Structure 1
């Protein structure tokens, strides 16, 4: 009966008192809240008669379509009997939760495969028996025997044969499930889930599993493992053992003075290796051929062959230093930085052994080389190793002055040093003088406006002639910057800054040298 509200104040109210709460339906999930119109018929009051604070608890929504009722599964009596037997004969060593999980898994798989009514549940092993079989396979049987047992569908106690009826080669997720713990303690997570050590994640042999806990320290155990590894205790079955090392260096017996360089793919043959006495004669012959023919491809191939013969015979003497120094100088002369750098690297190691040679000369080359490659870290390292006596050497002092001039952007001093380079440092400076000329032209274009004589460019940037200076400007898109005035050629420096700035950026960004350290 609906309540009757008084028509006007003072009249007696003929209605029942509303309760102090509004019953609502309990939410069964974490989704959207249930709207008021979907409450069941047992709700006594609608939102119209609810207090004002409760009328807007949920926004209005369209009536939801009723879901079709799920089809109820009628379990056969054999399944019900199987469930009863599972809980009637419980093993105290197996937790009840594990039995329920295995039982649910068994019935669910049979239902999904549509064989729930065709399985003989009276002969189906109980869940606790399945769990025991899995524990036995995972703990005592080898992996190969375990896999054979699982794939044997003819075994009467094998659940896979009963459910699937086929030899499925698919690996099931249950293969990765952790072994349930005994009733004596909680289930221990597998090593890959618990973040165990690397040793716990590797499958070892049965002998190693059964080793008793050692009382030795970790350091002693590591030493023993390392010793076993070197004694052949750990052998790989995926590759054959390496051939035994030779007892000593190869002693060459060849008498040929010239021999082509071939990369070794096997142990060297002494009949094809020249001894040191023959190599000394070869060096004299190669120096003569270089002065007469200057065939770099032939000379480089012969020097690499000499270096190979020295390496396989482990000859590290003053003669070895002489061979590497000679090859490095020839490579510098031809601009082959790859071969030069290989020789320079070997010379650094040979000099540390106290062998005679020209260490200060090649240390100066190394400083210029690092300036060219813009390797500031290596340059600082070599500067830190210089002794006061080495800093007074003519070649090293010149290389340090070059570095200082570039650091201070003093192009005038740099090109004066370029004209006075000792030894063969000029060949190294030739490799980066072009970019420094572009850099100097940018400074000239900013400092001298509107024009400067071409002779000024020739003298400042150390060109051999005005024609060479003009050709350099033309090669870098500066043809329109040259003109004739009062019988002299002038350079329009005020208009050339942006042109040479772009070329300078490109020149400094291309430092890619084969053989660079």
Structure 2
């Protein structure tokens, strides 16, 4: 990676030095960054990065020019140091700062961040290098930190190897988190403090994996663990991030063979894969279809049918037609999608009733160091049921709205068969519309139902934000 011209570095440093002395507000500093980026991009496009006279370059934000344009004429450039006697730099053409400056941050924030990440002057990033990406992508970082627990902080500079944990330590860290989770009441949502702790540690784990470019089975375990905790605590923003990353990790070629599914029992030499009915789970990604079904339910929950078409098409393109028809998780997820599209509320209720009453084996405990997925000792359908339940509640509401638009009143006996029980009415303050204990007044309840629908259906967006 080539370095910036020294004249350009002096120009950028001088601009930020001047902005600090003139006490630019944050908004004006952002505008300065924008103009610097634009003028440097312009120099690159015109191939004048080295030939431009940066010592005489002017910017509109300082009132020196009306528009952004390069200073074409080269002159003699002399390094100019900052004078302690002059506080006004309006007419000073260049400044060579003694230390690299960090743009758009106060000195107090800079010092606190240096303390947090233990940034030395040698490894700190100058403004010119910050505009460019100060990281060689061809050089992989290997961490040296040995801490089992480490708080998550958003990176604002080049990652320091002493603050990053290598893969063996990351495995111990995940085992440590897993043991802590096992000590809690695993069938209930975690408390706010507990979930905040786990999320902080998992995001730190994910960051260490990312900066070291580690994409293997262990990375899958981390994201699967994070996904399950996000489902259990209904953190849909985090759930969307983890499911999106898992979809990419499952297709990484370095993670082992990918097994394709069809109705034949042949071995395909060309693709080095089995085409057999009995391979219902990928040996390298034994939970791939389960977590794909979580992704399907998530898109059903946020009402994004176009994303479901992408998932189905992707499975077909990878030759997994047999899995779509026979894998228990995918089969039930796509069936629910079809029922919702058809607005078949009766069969949606039947499917949910079957799922609730279904007997499932509890997954066996496996260690974090084997080649299998790290399970959490819950029912095999535990996390699936959480997402399914939220979708069913929404479809209950849709069914009741459809009824309220079609009838003036309806028998509670029929309504109970449709909604399974009347707890739904009590939770949503709809029980006051029950008359004589036998009928539900649809006309009176219609306006409240529409208000509840508007509140619930606008709760989650495509990114899982509330």
Contact 1:452 1:492 in 2 (8 A): no
Aligned residue in 2 for 1:296: 195
Per-residue Cα deviation, 1:381-404 (whole angstroms, up to 9, x for no partner): 222223312212111111111111
CA distance 1:419–1:283, shift in 2 (3 Å): farther
Aligned residue in 1 for 2:336: 402
CA distance 1:266–1:204, shift in 2 (3 Å): closer
Name the SS for the 2:343 alignment partner. coil
Aligned residue in 2 for 1:462: 420
1:284 aligns with 2:175: yes
Q: How does 1:109-508 map to 2 (within 5 A)?
A: 243=134, 245=136, 248-293=139-184, 294=190, 295-354=194-253, 355=255, 356-357=284-285, 358-386=287-315, 387-391=320-324, 392-421=326-355, 422=381, 424-446=383-405, 450-453=409-412, 455-463=413-421, 466=422, 468-474=423-429, 478-484=430-436, 488-493=437-442, 495-508=444-457
CA distance 1:203–1:403, shift in 2 (3 Å): same
**Aligned-partner Cα distance in 2 for 1:244–1:343:** 25
Name the SS for the 1:491 alignment partner. strand
Contact 1:451 1:494 in 2 (8 A): no
Pick the structure with greater CA Rg.
Answer: 1
**Aligned-partner Cα distance in 1 for 2:65–2:313:** 65
**Aligned-partner Cα distance in 2 for 1:430–1:343:** 20
Q: Relative CO higher for 1 or 2, CA cutoff 8 Å, sep ≥ 6? A: 2
Contact 2:304 2:462 in 1 (8 A): no
Q: How does 1:63-142 map to 2 (within 5 A)?
A: none
How far apart are residue 346 of structure 1 and its match?
1.3
**Aligned-partner Cα distance in 2 for 1:274–1:238:** 25
Contact 1:254 1:273 in 2 (8 A): yes
**Aligned-partner Cα distance in 2 for 1:451–1:349:** 49
**Aligned-partner Cα distance in 1 for 2:145–2:133:** 28
**Aligned-partner Cα distance in 1 for 2:242–2:70:** 49
TM, length-normalised to structure 2:
0.54
**Aligned-partner Cα distance in 2 for 1:346–1:241:** 26
Aligned residue in 2 for 1:163: none
How far apart are residue 331 of structure 1 and its match?
0.7
How far apart are residue 514 of structure 1 and its match?
4.7
Contact 2:404 2:442 in 1 (8 A): yes
Aligned-CA RMSD value: 3.4
**Aligned-partner Cα distance in 2 for 1:496–1:170:** 65
Aligned residue in 1 for 2:117: none
How far apart are residue 449 of structure 1 and its match?
5.3
In the alignment of these two chains, the number of paired residues is 282
**Aligned-partner Cα distance in 1 for 2:222–2:463:** 21
How far apart are residue 345 of structure 1 and its match?
1.4
CA distance 1:367–1:240, shift in 2 (3 Å): closer
How far apart are residue 512 of structure 1 and its match?
2.8
TM, length-normalised to structure 1:
0.49
CA distance 1:364–1:243, shift in 2 (3 Å): closer
**Aligned-partner Cα distance in 2 for 1:306–1:456:** 51
**Aligned-partner Cα distance in 2 for 1:240–1:443:** 56
Per-residue Cα deviation, 1:453-502 (whole angstroms, up to 9, x for no partner): 2x543442234xx4x2441352xxx3541133xxx554233543454245
Q: Any unmatched runs of 5+ in structure 1?
A: 1-143, 145-168, 172-201, 208-236
Per-residue Cα deviation, 1:117-143 (whole angstroms, up to 9, x for no partner): xxxxxxxxxxxxxxxxxxxxxxxxxxx
Contact 1:370 1:379 in 2 (8 A): yes
Per-residue Cα deviation, 1:146-201 (whole angstroms, up to 9, x for no partner): xxxxxxxxxxxxxxxxxxxxxxx999xxxxxxxxxxxxxxxxxxxxxxxxxxxxxx
**Aligned-partner Cα distance in 2 for 1:203–1:313:** 39
Q: Any unmatched runs of 5+ in structure 2?
A: 1-52, 54-63, 75-127, 185-189, 256-283, 356-380
